[in-house]
Structure 1
Amino acid sequence: MTWLENDEPGLWEQLPSWVFAMGRIFLRVVGIGCLLAVVVALLYWLQAAQFDLTKVEKMPERTLLLDREGQELAAIHGSRRRLITYEDLPSHLINALTTREDKDFFEHGGVHFRGVARATLRNLRDRSMTQGASTLTMQLARNTFEMREMSFHRKLLEMALAYRLEANFDKKEILTAYLNRIYFGAGAFGIEQAAQSYFGRPTADLSVPEAALLVGIIRAPHAFSPRNDEEAALRERNDVLRNMAIDGHLTPEQRDEFLQAPLHLLPAREEQVDAIRCVRRHLNELLDQNDFASGGLTATSSIDREMQRLARQGIDEILAPFAQLEAALVALDPATGAMRAVITARDAERSQFNRAFDTRRQLGPAFQPFIYAFSAERGHLPIPNQPIQTARQLAPGDLERLARRIGFGGPFTTGDELARGNLQTTTLEVATALATLANEGREPRTYLVESLTDSEGELLFQQQPQGKPALDSFAAQSPFEILGKPTWSALNHPGNDLWALHSSPDLAVALWLGYDEPADVPEAAKLAENATALLTTLARVARIQREERAAEEAAEEAAREFERSR
């Protein structure tokens, strides 16, 4: 028997040539793709290497806000962060955080590739950047280096930075830095400040439901903060608790018990919230963003603590019987333009919108005293209780020109409509106009920051009160001679906006009451009475303070005179 050679072609030889061609193309594409991936990874690694990792554990220094007397009003940056160590973290807080944000935190090297791939596919499908898949390490990189742009570039840079963080810090250090830095809403930066702000206890003493609530806030600090939306906060907390049970951190019995737990939040009312927010706004205008973010500053504000307290308490009492009714108030020192009290909303904790500076409403009959001043400015005799007839004495366009001169910004109507007070204005503009009348016709430049020093005590900024002539002093005083009083109120037509105004050498105050969506102001007569009473109280406080300061200065001068005569 002989063995015959098999002349049949092999399997590979039977394949058509185009298969080999496609295979070669595929291998080239894969090779090029791998090479590009290596190049991209190298580029992002080099870019990530430019970031200073010492910033991860270095929190911003404290920035203090002081009132006009130099007493601490608030800490608005670094000192809001009360730093904790890993040993301060209860195990159920760590379990809640990893369950919610990063289940594989203790296993991965900084990036969870399956999650990233899944999110990338969804983003490509949706043509958006709605899916994040960021690990805790990536989130720490984003928050430390303030990378807010929603893009694939930012995501790749986050990944490269996450690898660097994992190479330089252990898991405990990363977790601790994350919880010390993250924002928990309602002005609370870091887990310790959040625990104290919401529950009045240190992080180590947080209960399981409390820890779950704080973790639930992280994804949307404003929307999920119980200060803004208790229902949303409760929903997110319960979602965290259910997932903790799924992951084996809670028994079904514990889960059911904790789901029924009430929130038990600390009361959030702070009398200074409005003022603090406005001072921060002024600081943002004065400072470069990097200077503000680094902290270490001391800002002395113009806010009078007692006046701010009285304003907040008075507004709360006025609004208490009327759900949804809003308010705004600005109190100024007429001579300098210093803001002594600011109310921006019915509840500044819940509403971020500044109604004192940004809401424009119709002034209505409250414009009448200013018309008297404008008439006197042009040499005419104001006609009491006849604003339209008085305004007709002026040349066309004069009413708007003079209104702009004393601080009103418009938009304005014309003719008789403007004389009826048909102009849109803010509470701050009205207060500025009142201060101009009280300051003998000189319009002051308003401000909230008196001075600013750095961490070394070096003066960075000193406010220099400024003003400009707007009206003749006689014209500025004419409204008070006609009205016979420094405080008055007026309801516009058709009754959507109630204004209470005060103007005297000690204080200029404008108070607005109304609804965000225009509607009739309820019990307008009673509200007007209460509003003018509040303004009278604030003015009396300003007068007493002036008299006390004058007495102190006289006593000091007498003491100096006595020393000189010895």
Structure 2
Amino acid sequence: MKRIIYGILAFGAGGFLGFFSFLLRELPDYRALEYYSPPLSTRIYDIKGRLIDEIYVERRIPVSIKEIPDTLIYAFIAVEDRDFYRHWGINLKAIIRAAIKNIIKRRIVQGGSTITQQLARNLFLTPEKSFIRKLMEALLAIKIERHYSKEEILEMYLNQIYFGAGNYGVEAASRYYFGKSVKELTLPECALLAGIPKGPAYYSPYRDSIRAKRRRNVVLHAMVEAGYITEERAEKAMRAPLGVVSREEKKPPPGPYFLKEVKRELVSLFGKEYLTKGFSVYTTMDMDLQRVVDSLVEVHLQRIERWYHIKPKSEYPDSLIGKEMTPYLQAAVVVMEPDSGFVLAMVGGRDIRHSQFNRAIQGRRQPGSSFKVFLYTAALDNGFNPSDLILDAPIIEQIQDKIYAPANFDSSFLGWIPLRKALALSRNTASLRLVKEVGVFTVIDYARRLGIRSPLQPVLSLPLGSSSVSLLEMVNAFGTIANYGVRVKPVFIKRVVDRYGNEIYHFDYERERVLDERTAYMVINMMKSVFDEGTARYARRLGFKYPAAGKTGTTNDFTDTWFIGFIPGVVCGVWVGFDVPKTIGKNATGASCALPIWVDVMRTMVDTSEVQDFPEPPGIVRRYICTETGLLATPYCPKVREEVFIEGNEPVEKCYLHGGGKIKERTPIERIEEEWR
């Protein structure tokens, strides 16, 4: 009989040892705490270092134990683990007390876990309530206590616990509930914070303030019983209001499409891990400007809807949310520094909740006459002058089996006009004659140099904007001209710093000269005429008096409207249209739809400082010319203007029509065209 008993005992002991050995093998390695890197929120800042947004899976702001007030530490110890400084990982008295309650209830209702056990569970184990998990938790807690000091355990614990609403750790919780750092908390605030982790949703002061206050007072009583505070201090703290900050519906950060592009670039650089790495991302956004642009777009689109009797966005149902394309009027805006490539503001659409499609970057639309700038740039860089004459008259071309007979916007023709006037008034037929002289492949080459990357079809209508491009491309290309021929890459992220303060990314400052600065200046000077005497003169009527250069664009049937322009130091582009191309309204042009948005955006950039004119580079000369012949003016020329030229390429002949001497010989084609005139 004894042998049987001894055998049973030996078998039981062996089974227990085997089970215990199995548990030890299955225990996570506590030494991983030395390398533990908890998920941290990534914070996005604007160009002035102001916080724009916080991205997180777990919102956590690590703090050292020295930064956490003793009052908060005492509050947690009093309510969670009063014997924390006396036990070695587990509290046998608490375990026995919990076991008795669990046996009575016939289920696990109380755990008796120490702070160290909670840390072990939160970091390494699942939250399920089972005896095996509790045993593993206890064993792991003992190991942790053997290798880490009480202060180290407290620091890890207080940075790890969950406080609700996505907040982990005492610093994130303090900022969320009280709007200040944990080091600034008062006694009643510490007590409230210490009471929340038992049930973050149940004890949330935003969900039930009375319940939260009762829980706070429980913590205060526990602190008295533990000897951390006096009865008098506790009673005074119990009378204090909760002191939590108002949690009204949080306004979304400015520039949602800008932030979407920043996140896309972060994924490209670091993968989706950036969400938990605690990066500080310093962007090029000017938050004040971005807010203004966000607001202006909506104001102006409502104006356009009223003017052209378009069904307003407000009348479309919320069922549109999540659609890529929307039926209501849309717009896109990009504001950029041409010398650095820093994108200061960007609007990719009217409402990112309805559509995450970024019309400033992903959208490809025909740019209309705004593309003509590349034709005139190519012409000036190949020997043409702003004063050279080009014929604005009907033109008929046979392309394969089709007849191509473009007209001007107003269906009129002006005859022989200077290139400056042809660009300023956006004359289609004059531009088509010019592209025949310059060559369509040359135009493509210059568009590529300046920054256009979209496919371009080598057809005669290319300068009229027949190939689709993105707004960001157009702004970048115009920015190259504004930067006097030096192309830069658009930049959204300046630098990224990791949680330890190490810079792990810095943008590449790519600069490449692609155009002679003298040519660029002549193009700028010609584009100024678009404002002063051309299709953008409406800007002057709107009160925009500053030196500016730009170009309007309108596609067939008033479908897409553009304006891209710049002042010294800032380039801005605007597109207005529908996602599914259709007419905005009769006579809806770049000047009537896009230009007013541009004016209001740029006005915010210049009202506080005086804008200087575009500086003239060396190698530019000025001459007075006759606008009828493009030659040097005589005292008898009725229409004279000062014109800019690259030194050595200025005209030397005097006007032959008004007393300048020999009449210039015409080619046969010119004589035929002159007869038509």
TM-score where L is the length of structure 2:
0.47
The match for 2:276 is 294
Aligned mate of 1:532, from 586, 595, 604: 595
Letter in 2 for 1:418: L
Q: Deviations over 1:48-90 (max 9, x none)?
A: 97999989x985213221111111122123675699x9x9xxx
Task: Kindly report which structure 2 residues correspond to 1:124-139, keeping only aligned pairs within 5 A, or say none.
Answer: none
Aligned mate of 1:271, from 254, 270, 287: 254
Q: Is the 8 A contact 2:300 2:597 kept in 1?
A: no
Q: Is the 8 A contact 1:307 1:340 kept in 2?
A: yes
Are 2:298 and 1:316 aligned?
yes
Q: Is the 8 A contact 1:453 1:461 kept in 2?
A: yes
- Cα deviation, residue 273, structure 1: 2.0
- Cα deviation, residue 473, structure 1: 1.9
The match for 1:280 is 263
Task: Kindly report which structure 2 residues correspond to 1:162-561, keeping only aligned pairs within 5 A, or say none.
Answer: 203=201, 204=204, 266=249, 270-290=253-273, 292-320=274-302, 321=305, 322-323=312-313, 324-381=328-385, 383=419, 384=422, 385=427, 386-483=430-527, 484=529, 485=531, 486-522=549-585, 525=588, 528-529=591-592, 531-543=594-606
- Give the direction of change, closer, same or farther, for the CA distance of 1:180–1:538 in structure 2 (3 Å limit): closer
- Cα deviation, residue 177, structure 1: 6.6
- Give the direction of change, closer, same or farther, for the CA distance of 1:82–1:163 in structure 2 (3 Å limit): farther
The match for 1:42 is none
- Cα deviation, residue 410, structure 1: 2.2
- Give the direction of change, closer, same or farther, for the CA distance of 1:352–1:52 in structure 2 (3 Å limit): farther
Q: Is the 8 A contact 2:576 2:593 kept in 1?
A: no
Q: Is the 8 A contact 1:311 1:538 kept in 2?
A: yes
Q: Is the 8 A contact 2:552 2:564 kept in 1?
A: yes
- Give the direction of change, closer, same or farther, for the CA distance of 1:303–1:381 in structure 2 (3 Å limit): same
Q: Is the 8 A contact 1:487 1:532 kept in 2?
A: no
- Give the direction of change, closer, same or farther, for the CA distance of 1:419–1:458 in structure 2 (3 Å limit): same
- Cα deviation, residue 181, structure 1: 6.2
- Cα deviation, residue 520, structure 1: 1.2
Q: Deviations over 1:368-389 (max 9, x none)?
A: 2222112112223463132212
Q: Is the 8 A contact 2:374 2:446 kept in 1?
A: no
Q: Number of aligned pairs?
A: 378
- Give the direction of change, closer, same or farther, for the CA distance of 1:76–1:494 in structure 2 (3 Å limit): same
- Cα deviation, residue 164, structure 1: 9.7
Question: 1:64 & 1:426 partners in 2: Cα distance?
Answer: 29
- Cα deviation, residue 167, structure 1: 7.8
Question: 1:522 & 1:178 partners in 2: Cα distance?
Answer: 54
- Cα deviation, residue 440, structure 1: 0.5
- Give the direction of change, closer, same or farther, for the CA distance of 1:49–1:503 in structure 2 (3 Å limit): same
Q: Deviations over 1:336-356 (max 9, x none)?
A: 101000111111243222221
- Give the direction of change, closer, same or farther, for the CA distance of 1:446–1:527 in structure 2 (3 Å limit): closer
Greater helix content: 1
Letter in 1 for 2:522: S
The match for 1:150 is none
Q: Is the 8 A contact 1:498 1:524 kept in 2?
A: no
Helix, strand or coil for the counterpart of 1:424? coil
Helix, strand or coil for the counterpart of 1:532? helix
Question: 1:47 & 1:331 partners in 2: Cα distance?
Answer: 57
- Cα deviation, residue 456, structure 1: 2.4
Question: 1:542 & 1:500 partners in 2: Cα distance?
Answer: 17
Letter in 1 for 2:56: H
Question: 2:606 & 2:28 partners in 1: Cα distance?
Answer: 61
- Give the direction of change, closer, same or farther, for the CA distance of 1:164–1:325 in structure 2 (3 Å limit): farther
- Cα deviation, residue 333, structure 1: 0.2
Q: Deviations over 1:282-308 (max 9, x none)?
A: 323333543x13322212211112211
Are 2:104 and 1:60 aligned?
no
Question: 1:300 & 1:442 partners in 2: Cα distance?
Answer: 25
Deviates more, 1:331-340 or 1:319-328: 319-328
| Identity, % of aligned positions | 20
Question: 2:29 & 2:441 partners in 1: Cα distance?
Answer: 60
Q: Is the 8 A contact 2:46 2:283 kept in 1?
A: yes
- Give the direction of change, closer, same or farther, for the CA distance of 1:442–1:178 in structure 2 (3 Å limit): same
Helix, strand or coil for the counterpart of 1:274? helix
Question: 1:74 & 1:394 partners in 2: Cα distance?
Answer: 49
Deviates more, 1:59-68 or 1:359-368: 59-68
TM-score where L is the length of structure 1:
0.55
Q: Deviations over 1:234-274 (max 9, x none)?
A: xxxxxxxxxxxxxxxxxxxxxxxxxxxxxxx9475543322
Helix, strand or coil for the counterpart of 2:374? helix
Question: 2:261 & 2:33 partners in 1: Cα distance?
Answer: 33
Q: Is the 8 A contact 1:495 1:521 kept in 2?
A: yes
Q: Is the 8 A contact 2:364 2:469 kept in 1?
A: yes
Q: Structure 2: where are the runs of 5+ without partners?
A: 1-24, 63-75, 80-106, 109-120, 139-160, 180-199, 209-247, 306-311, 314-327, 387-418, 532-548, 612-677
Q: Is the 8 A contact 1:506 1:546 kept in 2?
A: no
Q: Is the 8 A contact 2:563 2:575 kept in 1?
A: yes
Question: 1:514 & 1:521 partners in 2: Cα distance?
Answer: 7
Q: Deviations over 1:199-240 (max 9, x none)?
A: xxx9536779xxxxxxxxxxxxxxxxxxxxxxxxxxxxxxxx
- Give the direction of change, closer, same or farther, for the CA distance of 1:164–1:539 in structure 2 (3 Å limit): farther
- Cα deviation, residue 367, structure 1: 0.9
Larger radius of gyration: 2
Question: 2:295 & 2:506 partners in 1: Cα distance?
Answer: 31
Question: 2:459 & 2:590 partners in 1: Cα distance?
Answer: 31
Task: Kindly report which structure 2 residues correspond to 1:69-84, keeping only aligned pairs within 5 A, or say none.
Answer: 69-77=48-56, 80=59
- Give the direction of change, closer, same or farther, for the CA distance of 1:516–1:364 in structure 2 (3 Å limit): same
Q: Is the 8 A contact 1:487 1:535 kept in 2?
A: no
Helix, strand or coil for the counterpart of 2:515? coil
- Give the direction of change, closer, same or farther, for the CA distance of 1:457–1:347 in structure 2 (3 Å limit): same
Q: Is the 8 A contact 2:450 2:480 kept in 1?
A: yes
Question: 1:505 & 1:50 partners in 2: Cα distance?
Answer: 61
- Cα deviation, residue 508, structure 1: 0.9
Q: Is the 8 A contact 2:380 2:519 kept in 1?
A: yes
Helix, strand or coil for the counterpart of 1:476? helix
Helix, strand or coil for the counterpart of 1:362? coil
Helix, strand or coil for the counterpart of 1:416? coil
- Give the direction of change, closer, same or farther, for the CA distance of 1:494–1:169 in structure 2 (3 Å limit): farther
Aligned-pair RMSD on alpha carbons?
A: 5.0
Letter in 2 for 1:508: V
